[in-house]
Structure 1
Amino acid sequence: MTTPPDDALLFDVHAPAPPTPVERLLALANLYTQHNDRIDLLFYGRADLVPDTYAASSLHLEREALTSIKAVRQQPLPAIEPVSSAIVRLKQIAYLTGGATRYLTAARQALPADEAEHARPDRRHGFGQFIWLARELTALAPQAIVESAAHIAARLPDRARSNTTVSGMDAAKRELLLEVARGHVIVSQQYAERGYGRTGTVDVEVLRRLEDQGLVTCELASAPPFFPGGPSLDRARLTALGISVLSTVLHSPLHVSLPAAGPVPAPAATSTVRAHR
């Protein structure tokens, strides 16, 4: 597959590449979240089916993952277990994304021409099954990338680190920034404005303070609903400033402790698509 143009992707990549390896990894995690959300929306009938776009986006992610690994390996990092495991995990993500690209290419070939504009995928067979298999391969990428970035950030030389800071960065804000980076935070406007993370609700007031500081943005209706027929949800994502600030606090003494990086587990099939996967 040839290199796709930037306007043929599921996400915006017109911004320049972040300057540090950790910022680049956090930006990559954000792209994976957008990619996964668009596939999820497709299964809920909330996104257009343009098979070439999905395959091209996956290919872009694969190449950007490999480029990010190269940027990390150019740094004088110690050859110790947390670092080596983090790099292995990043390689696994790139290889899994390559598999997703092949599934999405197969999906494009399996879609009858007369269904290309109006079809809604069925994950049990045909092109929908290929798309769902591709979605499973990238399901854990945002969280795995962020966890690997945390181990790498703690051991980078000062010249390769960001020093961007903002006032009032307390533990609650750091933890919520991490959850946003992992692709776990959504906002529902139904009944009342509420925020949800991977395991429960999040403090919307803290989220709004992060928005006011320009660290987070909530993209309207960009995440799939909780249930078929429900309203689309708003995905919280890091801004460019948020990426820089989080990359700085990842290696601070007060950063949230993360488990040691290890091999990415095989994603288990689920009966429904949840936005805060």
Structure 2
Amino acid sequence: MTASPEPDHAPMFDVDVPAPLTLVERLLALANLYTEHNDRIDLLFSGRATADPDTYVSSARRLEREALACVKAVRQQRLPPVEPVPSAVVRLKQTAYLTSGATRYLASAQQALPPDDAGAARLDRRRGFGQYVRLARELTALAPATVIESVRHIADRLPAKAHARATVPGIDRTQRDTLLAVARGHVIVTGQYENDRHDRTVPVDTDVLRHLDAQGLVTRDAASAPPFYAGGLPRDRVRLTSLGLSVLSTAIVAPLSAGPPPARPVPGPAATATATARARR
């Protein structure tokens, strides 16, 4: 009796299935999605992206669904109703509702898009297509920072399984704060992590950014952020990698060292001699 043949769909090798995001990782990823959405609209107004209303509507609807799903996931944790947790959940709900309004504005922009290729008419912020897109952009402007502030309060009350289990030895408070600034969508760079002096984002130490990049925690998304001035070139948005999401989800509430202590000044020869003379008296 011959053995039955293997089914055609049988795997020839083991397939690594990515593990689902923990709740904290999911909230951090949501903030990044909002930053990407806002950057895409800003590039449109800077003339560096095409006016494709379908793309913006789809993006806003995805954000709305994910924000509501995150609120539901937080509620399922049955956290104690002790401040600041309830207020953080309310802010997440407000973010989802504002995103719903942004979706409606972008849907209206679809109807207002002129049939011709009159770019100036489409990008007029005061009327028609441009006005609807501007209003939608205003509703999601604070979403990344709001999500991060909310997750900082919520994460402290979540069980350990809701955090990631990946850590990087030696991460200190400065590195953690830099990861938080990246998560908020506050870090834009030009070149190889060179600070743009005219940048209105939060200043961060470029040496810290390089260190985090070398560890695989952050990456530069080339030409994904709007230029600083009209007619300028797009800049690079710094984003968290998958590992960065995982590490920050743990470090966001973990006690961290403040970094290496500052070096104490070495007394000069004269000061040393004076101190020695006093000690002999």
TM tier, smaller: 0.7 to 0.9
In structure 2, do the counterparts of structure 1 residues 91 and 157 end up closer, same or farther at CA, with 3 Å as the change threshold?
A: same
Alignment match, 1:31: 33
2 CA distance for matches of 1:100 and 1:214? 34
Compute the TM-score of the two structures, normalised by the length of structure 1: 0.81
In structure 2, do the counterparts of structure 1 residues 107 and 206 end up closer, same or farther at CA, with 3 Å as the change threshold?
A: same
Q: Is the 8 A contact 2:171 2:256 kept in 1?
A: no
Q: Is the 8 A contact 1:44 1:228 kept in 2?
A: yes
Helix, strand or coil at the partner of 2:153:
helix
The root-mean-square deviation of aligned C-alpha atoms, in Å, is: 2.3
Consecutive unaligned residues in structure 1, runs of 5 or more:
1-14, 257-277
**How big is the shift at 1:172?**
1.3
Alignment match, 2:115: 113
Alignment match, 1:185: 187
In structure 2, do the counterparts of structure 1 residues 162 and 200 end up closer, same or farther at CA, with 3 Å as the change threshold?
A: closer
2 CA distance for matches of 1:187 and 1:18? 30
Answering whether residue 80 of structure 2 is matched by residue 78 of structure 1, we say: yes
Helix, strand or coil at the partner of 2:116:
helix
Consecutive unaligned residues in structure 2, runs of 5 or more:
1-16, 259-281
Q: Which moved more, 1:167-176 or 1:57-66?
A: 167-176
Q: Is the 8 A contact 1:195 1:202 kept in 2?
A: no
Q: Is the 8 A contact 2:188 2:235 kept in 1?
A: yes
In structure 2, do the counterparts of structure 1 residues 199 and 235 end up closer, same or farther at CA, with 3 Å as the change threshold?
A: closer
Question: 5 Å matches for 1:79-228?
Answer: 79-115=81-117, 120-189=122-191, 193-194=194-195, 200-228=202-230
Q: Is the 8 A contact 1:187 1:194 kept in 2?
A: yes
Structure 1 counterpart of 2:195, one-letter code: R
**How big is the shift at 1:193?**
2.2
**How big is the shift at 1:80?**
0.8
Question: 5 Å matches for 1:229-244?
Answer: 229-244=231-246
**How big is the shift at 1:19?**
2.4
Structure 1 counterpart of 2:60, one-letter code: S
**How big is the shift at 1:252?**
1.0
Helix, strand or coil at the partner of 1:202:
coil
**How big is the shift at 1:247?**
0.6
Q: Is the 8 A contact 1:195 1:201 kept in 2?
A: no
In structure 2, do the counterparts of structure 1 residues 126 and 255 end up closer, same or farther at CA, with 3 Å as the change threshold?
A: farther
Compute the TM-score of the two structures, normalised by the length of structure 2: 0.80
Q: Is the 8 A contact 1:174 1:255 kept in 2?
A: no
In structure 2, do the counterparts of structure 1 residues 143 and 18 end up closer, same or farther at CA, with 3 Å as the change threshold?
A: farther
Structure 2 counterpart of 1:115, one-letter code: D
In structure 2, do the counterparts of structure 1 residues 18 and 29 end up closer, same or farther at CA, with 3 Å as the change threshold?
A: farther
1 CA distance for matches of 2:72 and 2:202? 36
Larger radius of gyration between Structure 1 and Structure 2: 2
Give every structure 1 segment of 4 or more consecutive aligned residues whose post-TM-superposition deviation is greater than 4 Å.
15-18, 116-120, 195-200
Helix, strand or coil at the partner of 1:151:
helix
Q: Is the 8 A contact 1:25 1:68 kept in 2?
A: yes
Q: Is the 8 A contact 1:43 1:120 kept in 2?
A: no
1 CA distance for matches of 2:126 and 2:151? 35
Q: Is the 8 A contact 2:187 2:201 kept in 1?
A: no
Q: Is the 8 A contact 1:185 1:198 kept in 2?
A: no
